[in-house]
Amino acid sequence: MTSNAPRAVLADHNVSVGRAMWAVVRRDLRSSFRQRQDLLNPLLFFFMVVTLFPLGVSPEVSFLQQAGTGILWVAALLSTLLSLDHLYRHDFDDGTLEQMVLQPHPLFLLVLAKSLAHWLLTGLPLVILAPVLGIMLHLEGNSIAVLCLTLLIGTPVLSLIGAIGAALTLGLRAGGVLLSLLIIPLYIPVLIFGTGTVAAATEGAAVEGYLALMAAFLVLALTLAPFAGAAALRISLSNS
Amino acid sequence: MWTLFHKFGSPKWFFGIAGRLMPWLLALGLGLLVAGLVWGLAFAPKDYLQGNSYRIIFIHVPSAFLAQSVYLMMAVAAVVTLVWRMKLADLFVQAVAPVGAVLTFLALFTGAVWGKPTWGTWWIWDARLTSMLILLFLYFGAIVLGSAISDEKASARAVAVLILVGVVNIPIIKYSVEWWNTLHQPATFKLTEKPSMPPEMWVPLLLSVLGLYLWFGWLACYRMQTEILRRERRTRWVRELVRAEGH
């Protein structure tokens, strides 16, 4: 099957919504795997930012154990931000995005599909890489497990909220910096609860409540963010 | 109904109404503000615990109050912009966003000045302080995004989306930071309870809150008028207006 096939699926009016979403996800995955650098950059960034903390602050085991989860979460947040600019950029530049807006399916579902693809390409690799960095930061086994769980629930929220910012700053000069300014305030609750969960787990407290709250964030972001993202996308495209 | 709607949406109509309202808003607002501040700063009794340093409350609370409600007003205007594409709503958002940011900064600054003698530190990472700081970031975001998009209509609608996303997030941010860390005292005024302060303290406070609201109303009208003149500078009524002024 050629890479044009998913696009052909999108153009077909008789295609079901599910197939259209799946086509968007598959197309994004495929085009990213053909440009591996885009895929690797956020991961390398994640790795390097985490490395800066032991070097810049202190390599003491006690410090790293205390600050490790925070460092990992902040680094994951920053590398997600870094990768957001790519979410729509290529499609915007070559006009694919306009075609997506024109097809008959609800736009918010396609935004959802794009966000899912973005998470599969950046969030999930971060979750997989996190245990290695956790060990390097001397975190305990239990903390690392909980950390990965929070990242697993939290990074999709980051992708979903980020998609709104990416759509708003589409086609603007200095869009990348602007994107960070708009999105960082919205990321703060996820960060607080993400690190809070791990802190509770380290102290031996029950984490179910925290995890349930994070899951609530995920549900809220899943249901609301795509609508805002779709509205933002329409505005940006009508402007260009 | 629709004609009324169009009338309300017309910048020209608003320009006239605002012009008639503004002297009242300014006089009442400044009057109340001066009365409240002079009363509060010079005549209200000293706090038995904090001495005179508590008097900054007469600036701190009104600006914090207004900082939050300006964001809510902007959110309402954002809905109007997105749903009915009313020009005035967009004008309002653009006019008051910097005012809101300044008020938020003022609340944070006076809070820091107050915190130094009371808590012994300029800044702590407390729930209320942090959520006000994030509110300031949200204001900055709205201002920066608005100025980054050159097309007026697209800019208005993009900012509206951003403000609405922010407004959904404000309670979440507020509760998350509150849960995370808190030291700040609870709200001064509650609608359901009698204030815990004596009347000699809360009456001037209430006066300065009301005064600041009215003064804000004046400033919003003034800034909207200015923006209307700038945007409609090529229309006939603005030219006639300028000619009538005789400059």
Question: SS3 helix, strand, coil % of chain A, rounded to 5?
Answer: 85, 0, 15
Q: What is the pLDDT along chain B (247 residues), one digit of tens a residue?
A: 666 666 666 788 888 888 888 888 888 888 888 888 888 777 777 776 677 777 788 888 889 889 989 999 999 999 998 888 888 888 899 899 999 999 999 999 988 888 888 777 888 887 778 888 999 999 999 999 988 888 888 889 999 999 999 988 888 877 777 777 655 565 666 555 556 677 777 888 888 889 899 999 999 999 998 888 888 888 888 888 888 876 5
- Helix (H), strand (E), coil (C) string for A22-44: HHHHHHHHHHHHHCHHHHHHHHH
The domain tally of chain A equals: 1
DSSP E strands, A111-179: none
Helix B127-148 vs helix B152-180: crossing angle, to nearest 10: 170
B175 to chain A: closest CA residue? A189
Asked whether the beta carbons of B34 and B102 are under 8 A apart, the reply is no
Where in chain B are the domains?
18-185+202-245
User: Can you give the pLDDT at residue B190?
Assistant: 56
Residue B176, both tokens: 């998350």
Interface touch B161/A228, C-beta < 8 Å:
yes
- Nearest chain B alpha carbon to A193: B176
Token pair for residue A17?
């919504």
Q: How far is A76 from A240, CA to CA, in rounded Å?
A: 31
N residues, chain A: 240
Taking the CA of residue B173 and the nearest CA in chain A, the distance in Å comes to 6
Instruction: Please give the residue range of the domain that contains residue A85.
Output: 4-239
**Crossing angle between the packed helical segments B199-231 and B87-119, to the nearest 10 degrees:** 140
List of chain B residues whose C-beta atoms are within 8 Å of the C-beta of residue A172: 148-149
Which residue in the block uniquely carries the two structure tokens 């995004």? Answer: B145
CA-wise closest residue to A76 among A145, A128, A137, A17: A128
Write out the two tokens for B99. 């005012």
Token pair 């809150």: residue: B209
Q: What ipTM was assigned to the predicted interfaces of this complex?
A: 0.83
**Tokens standing for B160?**
């509206």
CA quadruple B164, B170, B171, B177: dihedral, nearest 10: 160
Q: Is B187 on the interface with A (CB under 8 A)?
A: no
Find chain B residues with C-beta within 8 A of A235's C-beta.
154, 157-158, 161
* pLDDT tens readout for residues A124-154: 999 999 999 999 999 988 899 999 999 999 9
Q: List residues in chain A touching B: CB distance below 8 A.
A: 161, 164, 168-169, 172-174, 178, 181-182, 184-186, 188-189, 192-193, 196, 217, 224, 228, 231-232, 235-236, 238-239
Question: Under a CB-based contact definition with an 8 Å cutoff, are residues B5 and B225 in contact?
Answer: no
Residue with tokens 């914090």: B64
pLDDT band of residue A115 (cuts 50, 70, 90) is very high
Answer yes or no: are the C-beta atoms of A1 and A90 closer than 8 Å. no
Token couple for B218: 């004046």
B140 touches chain A (CB under 8 A): yes
> What are the structure tokens assigned to A219, written together?
């549900």
CA distances to A29, B113, B127, B133 from B120, in Å: 54, 10, 17, 20
Distance CA A220, CA A235 (A): 23
- Predicted TM-score (pTM) of the model is 0.85
pLDDT bracket for residue A4 (50, 70, 90): low
Nearest-angstrom CA–CA distance, B176 and A14: 45
Is some CB atom of chain A closer than 8 A to the CB atom of B182?
Answer: no
Here the tokens at position B196 are 């815990």
Q: Which residues of B touch A189 (CB under 8 A)?
A: 169, 172-173, 176
Q: Which of B168, B176, B177 sits opposite A224 (nearest CB)?
A: B168
C-alpha distance from A196 to closest chain B C-alpha (Å): 8
Rounded CA separation A119/A126 (Å): 10
Question: Token pair for residue B127?
Answer: 């729930």
- Give the pair of three-digit tokens for residue B6: 């169009």
